[in-house]
């Protein structure tokens, strides 16, 4: 097991000191230490292929998006975050931040003056935020922008590595990647050759499902399932789409999972959501509901670590024989206590699978 203390140690060099001006004998002004400052600079490539030059390992960051904040905390750099969006603070109350450090009410509502007052070394946004606008607005303040999309399962490993570079925490990022690889290895080994189980995934709102290109679609496949809407199109920026209720009935999934809004604070919506699903017209006759193969989850748990935790839970429900002896609750507990450095009341407060 990884050693939590070592992971939480702040890694990376300090911000380069301001250059000292001195008068040369010939009367010209020179900058002492300029070579040292230049050598401390970091040149990184973000997930939009943009080359971004940072003064050094970031010591003060504004991070927008709760999933990104989870990754930053996982690599031991959470104490360097000085500004966040409202959703991050609401969903992750264990972040050591206050209301006056909220600089965005949404991904398209950034307060650039508030950001500038925090004097960050960098602002980190996901690709579905207004990063082009932010790049333009932050330029006069001399604040660099990095685009890193933590909610997209397809680029999770790249995102963790990118954040490791930004914060000078490559070793800690490797530990996170190793934990994720451990889960992936279990899934690949145990699920080799299984027949995928048709799954209907619903996120947050009734009939809001996910399409290929979304992190949830990849989660379903990694868990040994087949997305019943893998042939649909017309989703939003996150490849989510509200579907016709009758179409779900016609496609007759063998398993249904509903993931509600992520929150580190336990929210007991399990019974209400189960009742809602069962009361929908025509749904009681679907294979999944008739067999009781329905799972309800708080997205903070199942979407954790690039949805790797969710894929493990899903696999344990879809293929219980193949996953015999693998305890998803143990992996969730490790993620929360070791990598998020916070307490977990009980896994059942966040994830509830099929009821016997």
What local confidence, expressed as pLDDT, does residue 154 receive? Answer: 87
Please state whether beta strands 20-23 and 29-32 pair in parallel, antiparallel, or not at all (unpaired): antiparallel
What local confidence, expressed as pLDDT, does residue 2 receive? Answer: 37
What local confidence, expressed as pLDDT, does residue 13 receive? Answer: 32
Which pair of tokens denotes residue 34? 């300029």
Which pair of tokens denotes residue 264? 């580190």
What local confidence, expressed as pLDDT, does residue 39 receive? Answer: 63
Neighbours of 247 (CB within 10 A): 14
Name residue, tokens 């799954």: 199
What local confidence, expressed as pLDDT, does residue 231 receive? Answer: 94
What local confidence, expressed as pLDDT, does residue 234 receive? Answer: 85
Judge contact between 76 and 172, C-beta under 8 A.
yes
> H or E segment at 43?
strand 42-45
Judge contact between 103 and 114, C-beta under 8 A.
yes
What local confidence, expressed as pLDDT, does residue 236 receive? Answer: 83
What local confidence, expressed as pLDDT, does residue 292 receive? Answer: 96
What local confidence, expressed as pLDDT, does residue 38 receive? Answer: 55
Phi, psi (degrees; rounded to nearest 5) at 130: -85, 60
What local confidence, expressed as pLDDT, does residue 37 receive? Answer: 56
- Could you list the mean pLDDT of each consecutive 10-residue stretch along the chain, which spans 356 residues? 35 31 32 49 96 97 97 98 96 94 92 97 96 97 97 93 98 98 98 98 94 90 97 85 95 98 96 96 94 97 96 98 98 98 96 89
What local confidence, expressed as pLDDT, does residue 213 receive? Answer: 84
């Amino acid at each position: 097991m990884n050693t939590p203390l070592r992971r939480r140690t702040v890694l990376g060099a300090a911000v380069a000191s301001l250059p000292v001006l001195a008068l040369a004998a010939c009367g010209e002004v020179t900058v002492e230490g300029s070579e040292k400052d230049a050598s401390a600079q970091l040149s990184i490539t973000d997930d939009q292929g943009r080359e971004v030059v940072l003064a050094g390992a970031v010591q003060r960051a504004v991070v927008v998006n709760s999933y990104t904040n989870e990754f930053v905390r996982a690599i031991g750099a959470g104490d360097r975050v000085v500004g966040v969006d409202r959703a991050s603070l609401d969903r992750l109350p264990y972040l050591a931040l206050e209301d006056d450090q909220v600089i965005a009410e949404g991904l398209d509502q950034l307060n650039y003056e508030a950001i500038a007052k925090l004097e960050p070394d960098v602002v980190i946004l996901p690709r579905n935020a207004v990063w082009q606008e932010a790049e333009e607005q932050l330029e006069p303040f001399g604040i660099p922008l990095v685009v890193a999309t933590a909610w997209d399962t397809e680029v999770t490993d790249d995102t963790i590595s990118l954040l490791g570079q930004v914060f000078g925490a490559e070793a800690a990022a490797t530990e996170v990647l190793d934990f994720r690889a451990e889960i992936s290895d279990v899934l690949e080994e145990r699920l080799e050759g299984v027949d995928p189980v048709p799954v209907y995934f619903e996120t947050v709102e009734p009939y809001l499902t996910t399409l290929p290109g979304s992190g949830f679609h990849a989660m379903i496949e990694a868990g040994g399932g087949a997305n019943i809407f893998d042939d649909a199109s017309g989703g939003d920026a996150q490849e989510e789409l509200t579907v016709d209720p009758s179409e779900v009935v016609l496609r007759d999934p063998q398993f249904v999972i509903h993931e509600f809004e992520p929150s580190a604070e336990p929210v007991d919506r399990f019974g209400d959501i189960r009742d809602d699903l069962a009361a929908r017209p025509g749904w009681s006759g679907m294979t999944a509901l008739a067999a009781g193969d329905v799972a309800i989850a708080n997205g903070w748990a199942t979407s954790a670590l690039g949805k790797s935790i969710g894929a493990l839970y899903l696999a344990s429900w879809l293929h219980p024989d193949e996953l015999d002896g693998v305890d998803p609750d143990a992996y969730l507990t490790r993620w929360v206590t070791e990598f998020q450095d916070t307490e977990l009341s009980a896994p059942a407060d966040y994830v509830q699978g099929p009821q016997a």
